Chain A
Protein backbone atom coordinates (compact mmCIF):
# COMPACT_ATOMS: atom_id res chain seq x y z
CA UNK A 1 0.00 0.00 0.00
CA UNK A 2 1.64 3.18 -1.25
CA UNK A 3 0.75 5.82 1.34
CA UNK A 4 2.64 8.57 -0.48
CA UNK A 5 2.15 8.81 -4.22
CA UNK A 6 3.83 10.83 -6.90
CA UNK A 7 1.74 10.06 -9.93
CA UNK A 8 3.89 11.89 -12.46
CA UNK A 9 7.10 9.98 -13.05
CA UNK A 10 8.54 12.83 -15.10
CA UNK A 11 8.09 16.53 -15.83
CA UNK A 12 9.73 18.75 -18.42
CA UNK A 13 9.80 22.55 -17.96
CA UNK A 14 11.45 25.40 -19.78
CA UNK A 15 14.09 27.41 -17.96
CA UNK A 16 12.61 30.45 -16.21
CA UNK A 17 9.12 28.97 -15.99
CA UNK A 18 7.44 27.47 -12.95
CA UNK A 19 7.86 23.79 -12.07
CA UNK A 20 5.06 22.21 -10.06
CA UNK A 21 5.63 18.79 -8.57
CA UNK A 22 2.71 17.03 -6.94
CA UNK A 23 2.34 14.49 -4.20
CA UNK A 24 -0.77 12.79 -2.78
CA UNK A 25 -1.05 10.88 0.44
CA UNK A 26 -3.62 8.59 1.96
CA UNK A 27 -2.79 8.63 5.66
CA UNK A 28 -4.56 11.53 7.35
CA UNK A 29 -2.33 11.06 10.39
CA UNK A 30 0.74 12.39 8.57
CA UNK A 31 1.82 15.57 10.35
CA UNK A 32 5.12 16.43 8.71
CA UNK A 33 6.08 16.56 5.06
CA UNK A 34 9.40 16.98 3.32
CA UNK A 35 10.81 17.31 -0.20
CA UNK A 36 14.15 15.90 -1.25
CA UNK A 37 16.13 16.30 -4.45
CA UNK A 38 18.37 13.57 -5.81
CA UNK A 39 21.06 13.79 -8.47
CA UNK A 40 22.44 10.61 -10.07
CA UNK A 41 25.10 8.84 -7.99
CA UNK A 42 24.31 11.02 -4.97
CA UNK A 43 22.09 10.60 -1.95
CA UNK A 44 18.92 12.70 -1.65
CA UNK A 45 19.37 16.19 -0.26
CA UNK A 46 16.79 17.93 1.87
CA UNK A 47 14.98 20.82 0.18
CA UNK A 48 12.10 22.06 2.23
CA UNK A 49 9.56 20.83 4.76
CA UNK A 50 6.16 21.76 6.14
CA UNK A 51 4.26 20.91 9.26
CA UNK A 52 0.59 19.96 9.03
CA UNK A 53 -0.34 23.06 11.03
CA UNK A 54 0.71 25.21 8.07
CA UNK A 55 -0.48 25.37 4.50
CA UNK A 56 2.52 27.05 2.95
CA UNK A 57 6.25 27.28 3.49
CA UNK A 58 8.66 29.26 1.36
CA UNK A 59 12.43 29.12 0.97
CA UNK A 60 13.87 31.19 -1.84
CA UNK A 61 12.73 29.77 -5.17
CA UNK A 62 11.03 26.81 -3.46
CA UNK A 63 7.54 26.88 -1.99
CA UNK A 64 5.63 23.92 -0.61
CA UNK A 65 1.85 24.00 -0.38
CA UNK A 66 -0.20 21.63 1.76
CA UNK A 67 -3.89 20.97 1.21
CA UNK A 68 -4.93 18.72 4.08
CA UNK A 69 -8.53 18.32 2.98
CA UNK A 70 -7.37 17.03 -0.39
CA UNK A 71 -4.38 15.16 1.12
CA UNK A 72 -2.25 16.89 -1.46
CA UNK A 73 1.21 18.39 -1.33
CA UNK A 74 2.94 20.39 -4.05
CA UNK A 75 6.37 21.88 -4.59
CA UNK A 76 6.70 25.01 -6.72
CA UNK A 77 10.04 26.05 -8.14
CA UNK A 78 10.14 29.58 -9.54
CA UNK A 79 12.01 30.33 -11.70
CA UNK A 80 13.21 26.90 -12.80
CA UNK A 81 16.89 26.55 -13.62
CA UNK A 82 18.79 23.81 -15.47
CA UNK A 83 20.52 22.88 -12.20
CA UNK A 84 17.12 21.94 -10.81
CA UNK A 85 17.04 18.93 -13.12
CA UNK A 86 16.94 15.97 -10.75
CA UNK A 87 14.57 13.44 -9.20
CA UNK A 88 12.32 14.91 -6.53
CA UNK A 89 10.90 12.82 -3.70
CA UNK A 90 8.20 13.83 -1.29
CA UNK A 91 8.12 12.19 2.13
CA UNK A 92 5.80 12.17 5.11
CA UNK A 93 5.80 11.04 8.70
CA UNK A 94 3.39 10.50 11.58
CA UNK A 95 4.31 11.92 14.95
CA UNK A 96 8.04 11.91 14.19
CA UNK A 97 7.93 8.27 13.13
CA UNK A 98 9.84 6.92 10.11
CA UNK A 99 9.73 8.76 6.80
CA UNK A 100 7.50 7.35 4.05
CA UNK A 101 8.74 8.33 0.60
CA UNK A 102 6.98 8.63 -2.72
CA UNK A 103 8.37 7.03 -5.86
CA UNK A 104 9.84 10.26 -7.19
CA UNK A 105 9.34 12.63 -10.13
CA UNK A 106 12.13 13.28 -12.59
CA UNK A 107 12.27 16.99 -13.43
CA UNK A 108 14.05 18.15 -16.54
CA UNK A 109 14.57 21.87 -17.06
CA UNK A 110 15.54 22.72 -20.63
CA UNK A 111 16.91 26.02 -22.00
Chain B
Protein backbone atom coordinates (compact mmCIF):
# COMPACT_ATOMS: atom_id res chain seq x y z
CA UNK B 1 0.00 0.00 0.00
CA UNK B 2 1.43 3.38 -1.03
CA UNK B 3 2.19 5.80 1.78
CA UNK B 4 1.24 9.43 2.21
CA UNK B 5 2.65 11.58 -0.56
CA UNK B 6 3.28 15.30 -0.49
CA UNK B 7 4.14 17.62 -3.31
CA UNK B 8 6.26 19.51 -3.83
CA UNK B 9 9.03 18.33 -1.52
CA UNK B 10 10.88 21.64 -1.56
CA UNK B 11 9.67 25.15 -2.28
CA UNK B 12 11.23 28.60 -2.18
CA UNK B 13 8.92 31.59 -2.14
CA UNK B 14 9.25 35.31 -1.62
CA UNK B 15 7.64 37.20 1.22
CA UNK B 16 4.14 38.31 0.28
CA UNK B 17 3.51 35.49 -2.18
CA UNK B 18 1.08 32.67 -1.63
CA UNK B 19 1.70 28.93 -1.79
CA UNK B 20 -0.34 25.75 -2.16
CA UNK B 21 0.86 22.40 -0.85
CA UNK B 22 -0.69 19.07 -1.75
CA UNK B 23 -1.17 15.84 0.17
CA UNK B 24 -2.45 12.47 -1.00
CA UNK B 25 -3.39 10.19 1.91
CA UNK B 26 -3.06 6.45 2.09
CA UNK B 27 -5.76 4.79 0.03
CA UNK B 28 -8.88 4.37 2.13
CA UNK B 29 -7.88 6.94 4.72
CA UNK B 30 -10.44 9.70 5.09
CA UNK B 31 -8.83 11.88 7.73
CA UNK B 32 -6.01 14.25 6.79
CA UNK B 33 -4.19 16.48 9.25
CA UNK B 34 -1.60 19.18 8.61
CA UNK B 35 1.27 20.17 10.88
CA UNK B 36 3.99 22.80 10.84
CA UNK B 37 7.39 21.81 12.18
CA UNK B 38 9.94 24.46 13.11
CA UNK B 39 13.15 24.08 15.12
CA UNK B 40 12.43 24.15 18.84
CA UNK B 41 8.65 24.13 18.39
CA UNK B 42 7.97 20.52 17.56
CA UNK B 43 4.94 19.79 15.44
CA UNK B 44 2.22 22.41 15.60
CA UNK B 45 -1.24 21.30 14.55
CA UNK B 46 -2.76 23.34 11.73
CA UNK B 47 -6.06 21.64 10.86
CA UNK B 48 -7.74 18.34 10.19
CA UNK B 49 -10.15 17.38 7.44
CA UNK B 50 -12.51 14.44 7.32
CA UNK B 51 -14.86 13.78 4.41
CA UNK B 52 -14.20 17.22 2.92
CA UNK B 53 -15.08 18.99 6.20
CA UNK B 54 -12.70 20.75 8.53
CA UNK B 55 -13.19 19.03 11.88
CA UNK B 56 -10.48 20.69 13.90
CA UNK B 57 -8.30 23.76 13.71
CA UNK B 58 -5.13 24.85 15.48
CA UNK B 59 -4.07 28.31 16.56
CA UNK B 60 -2.81 29.69 13.27
CA UNK B 61 -3.83 32.94 11.54
CA UNK B 62 -6.41 32.98 8.77
CA UNK B 63 -3.62 33.15 6.19
CA UNK B 64 -3.41 29.39 6.61
CA UNK B 65 -6.28 27.54 5.00
CA UNK B 66 -6.98 24.12 3.63
CA UNK B 67 -9.47 21.96 1.87
CA UNK B 68 -10.14 18.32 1.14
CA UNK B 69 -11.49 16.84 -2.03
CA UNK B 70 -13.92 13.97 -2.52
CA UNK B 71 -11.01 11.56 -3.13
CA UNK B 72 -9.60 12.58 0.30
CA UNK B 73 -6.66 14.45 -1.23
CA UNK B 74 -5.98 17.65 0.62
CA UNK B 75 -4.40 21.00 -0.12
CA UNK B 76 -3.05 23.60 2.20
CA UNK B 77 -2.71 27.25 1.23
CA UNK B 78 -0.71 30.00 2.86
CA UNK B 79 -1.33 33.53 1.65
CA UNK B 80 0.82 36.61 2.13
CA UNK B 81 3.85 34.60 3.14
CA UNK B 82 6.03 35.82 5.99
CA UNK B 83 9.62 34.88 6.80
CA UNK B 84 8.37 33.03 9.87
CA UNK B 85 6.35 30.67 7.69
CA UNK B 86 9.57 28.93 6.68
CA UNK B 87 9.12 25.42 8.02
CA UNK B 88 8.56 21.77 7.23
CA UNK B 89 4.87 21.19 6.54
CA UNK B 90 3.74 17.67 7.29
CA UNK B 91 0.58 15.94 6.28
CA UNK B 92 -0.75 12.87 8.07
CA UNK B 93 -3.59 10.53 7.26
CA UNK B 94 -5.60 8.26 9.48
CA UNK B 95 -8.13 5.55 8.79
CA UNK B 96 -10.29 6.28 11.80
CA UNK B 97 -12.94 8.86 12.36
CA UNK B 98 -11.00 10.29 15.26
CA UNK B 99 -7.47 11.17 14.25
CA UNK B 100 -6.30 11.62 17.81
CA UNK B 101 -7.00 8.15 19.16
CA UNK B 102 -5.17 6.11 16.60
CA UNK B 103 -1.83 6.44 14.94
CA UNK B 104 -1.43 8.83 12.07
CA UNK B 105 0.74 8.09 9.06
CA UNK B 106 2.91 10.96 7.97
CA UNK B 107 4.20 12.01 4.59
CA UNK B 108 7.79 13.16 4.07
CA UNK B 109 6.79 16.81 4.27
CA UNK B 110 7.22 19.90 2.15
CA UNK B 111 10.15 22.13 3.08
CA UNK B 112 9.04 25.72 2.52
CA UNK B 113 11.62 28.51 2.55
CA UNK B 114 10.41 32.11 2.47
CA UNK B 115 13.00 34.71 1.48
A interface, CB within 8 angstroms of B: 4, 6, 32, 34, 36, 41-46, 49, 89, 91, 93-104
Tell me if A101 and B100 are in contact (CB < 8 A): no
B interface, CB within 8 angstroms of A: 4, 33, 35, 40-45, 48, 56, 58, 90, 92, 97-109
How many pairs, one residue from A and one from B, have CB atoms within 8 Å of each other in the complex? Answer: 64
Tell me if A93 and B101 are in contact (CB < 8 A): yes
| CB contact under 8 A between A46 and B41, given known A98-B33, A98-B48, A98-B56 | no
Q: How far is the CA of A32 from the CA of B44 in the complex (A)?
A: 18
Tell me if A43 and B4 are in contact (CB < 8 A): yes
Closest residue on chain A to residue B56 by CB atoms = A98
Residue of A6, A36, A42, A102 touching B108 (CB-CB under 8 A): A42
Q: How far is the CA of A97 from the CA of B94 in the complex (A)?
A: 13
Tell me if B106 and A43 are in contact (CB < 8 A): yes
Q: How far is the CA of A49 from the CA of B104 in the complex (A)?
A: 11
Nearest CB in chain A: distance from B45 CB, A? 5
Q: How far is the CA of A16 from the CA of B99 in the complex (A)?
A: 35
B108 partner residues in chain A, CB cutoff 8 A: 41-43
Tell me if B90 and A102 are in contact (CB < 8 A): no
